[in-house]
Structure formats: C-alpha cells, structure tokens
Amino acid sequence: FGFARYIQPNEWCQTRCGTPAFVAPEILLGIPYGISADLWSIGCLLYMLIAGYPPFTGNNHRELFCKVRAGDFVFHDTVFGNVSTSAKTLIANLLTVSVESRWTAVQALGGNWFKMKDKELQSNDLSSRALQGFQSFGAKKRWKAAKTAIVWAANQRFWKPDNVTFNQQLTAWDKQAIKNQVESEQAMDEDGEDSDSESNNKKSRAPPTRVLTTQGSVRIPAAPLDAIAVPCVRFRDVYDLQKVLRNGTSAQVCLCTHAHTKETYAVKMIDRRQLTPLDDENVLTEVAAMQALSGNKYCVQLLDFYEEPDCFYLVMEYMTGGDVFERIVNLRAYTEQDARDLSVDLIMAVKSIHAAGIAHRDIKPQNLLLVTTHDHTSIKIGDFGFSRRVHTPNSLTSRVGTPTYVAPEILKNIPHDERADLWSIGVVIFVLLVGYPPFLEDNQAVLFDKIRMGEWSFVDEDWRHISDDAKALIHGLLRVDPKERWSVDQALRCKWINQDGRSLAGISLQDSVSSIRTKRTRLRALARPVMWSDNRVHADVATQAQPMEPMDIVDEADHEDLSSAYDISLASIAMDDEYGQSSNML
C-alpha cells in the first residue's frame, strides 16, 4: 500500500506514481484522479490473467506510455479467439480512457462474465497459451522494467514525454547528458523522504525516486535511461516548413521537406495551447491507429510524430494526386468502369483497416486521396481522427462522423462497430456513380431523419443507364439494420465488382461529372465532420485536400438540429476555417 492514499469525498489525487504497465492514462496526463484509476489497473490485470502478457507493451517507457494514453490495445485472435465476449467486454470497459465512461467496480461485478456458470468457463482451457505467455514474457527485460513500481516528480521528464518521435534514437551525448542530470538530482535529494506531490508541491527540488519491492520501499539509483530520456531534437530541427495546404484555428496541414534528404512530406500541426490535457488522448488515438496500419498500402502512412509542449506534429506521406472529387471533375472521360475501379480500391482499403481491428468512421470522398496525378484509381484513405479500435461487437458509443455519410445506428445513438463504415461506402459509391449523395437535404433535422429511416431512392432520370449490378451493391450496403448490411467480403463477391471492365467502359458518367462540378461547393459543405462544442459547429481539417473554396455559413437553425444528433466529440481536432476564423501558426 505504499502508493495508497485516503480520498475524502470530492477530493482527488495528483501524485504521478504507479507501475508503468498498469498505470491509468489520467495519471500520465497529470489530471486529478480518483478511485477509477484502480479500475484501469484491474482491466490490465484481467487481460494479463487471460493472455499471459499485459495489454500495453513497448520497447521503452515512452512507447508504452503513448499506447496507454491512447488506450491502444488489441485482443489478439490467437489468444482471445475462444475467450467469451463477456470477458472481452468487461476488459474493454475497464480499459476505457475516458474516466466518465469507464466502468465502476459495481458495474464490473454486474457484468455478464461474473454471471456465467463455472462449467461454461472451465471448458475454455487457458493453460497452454496463458501459462506459456507468462513464462516467455515474464523473462523479458522490458517487462521487468514495466512492472517496476515507481514515483517521480511531476516536473520530471519520465512523466512528461514531450518531443516524442517514432524514429529518433538517443545519441551517446543525449544519454550522457541525462545520466549527469539524474546523478545531479540524486545528489540534491539524498536526504529526501516523501515524494508525494500533495505534500511536497511547494518544494523547489525534485523528490527522490522510489521502487516498491517485497522488502518494502527502497531507493533506486535512477529510472531506466529510456524511461526518462527525451531527445533534444525538435520537429523544426529536422524539417523545413513550406506552404500551407489547409489552415484552421487549431491545426494546419503544411508541406515540409526533410532538412537533409530534401524529401517532401505533409505535416499536420496541432496547436496544443488551445487543447485540454484530455484532448491529447484523441490525438494519440489517431496516431495509434495510423501506427497500427503502418505498411498498409491502402492508407496514408504516418512517418514520424513529435510531441512538443506547444504542438503535435504528424509527419505523413504527401499525396500529390489530391482527393477523388478533384480528380473526377478534371477527367475528360469518366465511365462506370472508373467508378467501379475506385469502388474496388475503397472496399479493399476498408477491409484492410477492419482486419487491423479498426473502424474508420469517416469514410467520404474527401478522405480518399490519390497517390499521384497520373493514376486515377490508386487511392489511399486518410484522416483517422474518428477511428477507434473495435474490441467487441457493437462496442463503440461515441457519436461522430460526417452528416451526409454517417450510418443510421450512430445517429440513433446505438452502440456500433466497423459495420458503420459499410454504410458510408454505400453512400460514396452512390456519389461516384451519379455525382450526388442519396441523402441531400439543407435542413439537418430532415437529413438525419431520412438517414435513420433509410429513405432514399434511385431517381430514374439519373440511374436508367447505370447497371443493375451496381444498384444491387448499393442496396446491400445502404441497409439500416447493421445485421442485414453487406459485409466487405459480400461486397467484394458481388457481380458488379467482378464484372468484366470492358462492358462497363462503354457506360459514360459525364453527367455525373457535371453534377459534381455544379454541386462541388455544396458537397464539400455537407462533407464536414461536425461536433457540438462551445455553442459552435466545427469542421475538421485533417486531409491533404486542395485549397478550400468559399462556403456558405450554416445558419443557427441548423446548429440546433446538429446539437440534437451529435454529442460533444473530441475525436478529431476541431477546425472552423470554413467560417473564416483561420489562424497562421507559421
């Protein structure tokens, strides 16, 4: 009980302490916390009892803490394939970053897992995998460091992992500088006793580092170097900023070049000065999703990441081809074969994202980026600000998305999963074929009602020349009930996707191109992900799109409609450059 504290009603702890592999994210974020931090640790322990290894691991403490703060863990099929959904649901609800959404002890004890009969659970033998996991993982050096209980001053870099990068390695100079710093601080703290920040927050010098062992509390020389070491290299030491691609109040997307290689990248810069500590979770969740999709040819790649006191920097590959809309309107000829080929890449891309256990939740043409200006069909999906891991079926509850493309279950506030992306795919394919979405209303309330009810149709004048197989695919995807909605595999098996391209090449969609051209401004306005915050509707700038055209401001009546359909969401950085409130961080 060395770290235990008695908490009076309406009081909170502030000490940054715990065991790295089991510490709650609110402790890492420096947010006042309470007893719910223990429930997070219980979730970690339950995961480990089943799997034989902890849910969060890393090569060093910085990697580990980034995953904890983002709540980035996976139920691996090789271990959890036969584990009951009730057990995974319990763990997932305990390992929820949001303290308000995390289950309490009473809720956990009321879960279905504790109500299951012993015989049901005894039939699932964990001996081979779990025990093997304990034996192999317990011997690893990084696990020995991760299970060491420590307490560190709130102002120490161990608990404040600023300036984190993916690829940066510590130089000998860095290690020596940090070693000197640690030795200096230890000399200052020779006589230190209590490191609890509640009782020592007025002291100017750092308290000593402690570790809890079976023999009690003893002094250790220092935390591991990789736990406290922070490279002195910052983003602007490595990259040179070029022109601004997108601009907003909280973030910018700019071109940048590597100072040495001169290679060009896109960087998303998020101003932390306007964010709360809790907002960091959402940025790190986006980073974690992109990390999980590293090497995926269908997704925009995150190449580097810097976490600095005033700004996050997400360095991504630069997509020179623009988005799908921009490419279509510039084509001299556009046929149903072109639309089909784009649809194949889109479905394959979403399938690969789902295979990684991630739901994107903001599939739309503006997030479909083309690799080059020469290839019309090779697309990559960008903007993972709304993405979340799907641990169990229907485990997502946040109401986020883009109104025109959002699935009805999200609007109905029904727990959902990756099947919501299939609805969005159906809307996108609809747009690719006729140039406008199936749900097109100026009034948000009417729009949302039609989406909830699935009220849409094929206007004969626009669809008479389009193949019936294409319509069948859209019918299969735009089903209100997620259980009846086609899966990605069903979509890939349909006739239209597998049809000979020569028969589709003769079906011109030039009228659709004209429709996109005339409705482009309106379609872009309808494609803004919205969130209700501070009595304003915000839009997100997260992709490498072309410079934005002027847009009409949504009137106050629509604001009221939006608030009834969307809860406050920080799943991506709020932007409102469409409202003329842009700022320049350069």
Q: Check 72, 345, 362, 421 and give the catalytic one.
A: 362
Provide the residue type at 557 as one letter: A
The answer to whether residues 512 and 461 touch, using CB atoms and an 8 Å cutoff, is no
Pairwise CA distance, residues 475 & 196, whole Å: 61
Identify any residues that bridge with 555 across adjacent strands, giving them in sequence order. none
- 256 near 265, Cβ under 8 Å? yes
Burial degree of 434 (CB within 10 A; 0-12, 13-18, 19+): buried
468 is catalytic: no
Tell me the one-letter amino acid at 249. T
CA distance 582 to 78: 48
Q: Which two tokens stand for residue 290?
A: 């992109």
Contact residues for 209 (Cβ-Cβ < 8 A; gap 6+): 150, 151, 152, 186, 195, 219, 220, 222, 223
Q: Provide the token pair at 189.
A: 């703290």
Structure tokens at 460: 């004969």
Nearest by Cα to 207 from 255, 159, 269, 145: 159
Task: Tally helices (H) and strands (E) across the chain.
Answer: 26, 15
Q: How far apart are CA 514 and CA 95, in angstroms?
A: 49
Cα–Cα distance for residue pair 37/30, rounded to 1 Å: 12
Specify whether the CB–CB gap between 70 and 97 falls below 8 A: yes
Distance between CA 167 and CA 149 in Å, rounded?
Answer: 27
CA-closest candidate to residue 151, choices 243, 83, 69, 218: 218
CA distances from 285 to 240, 279, 360 (A): 26, 10, 12
Position 544, amino acid: Q
| Longest alpha-carbon distance in the chain | 85
Catalytic residues: 362
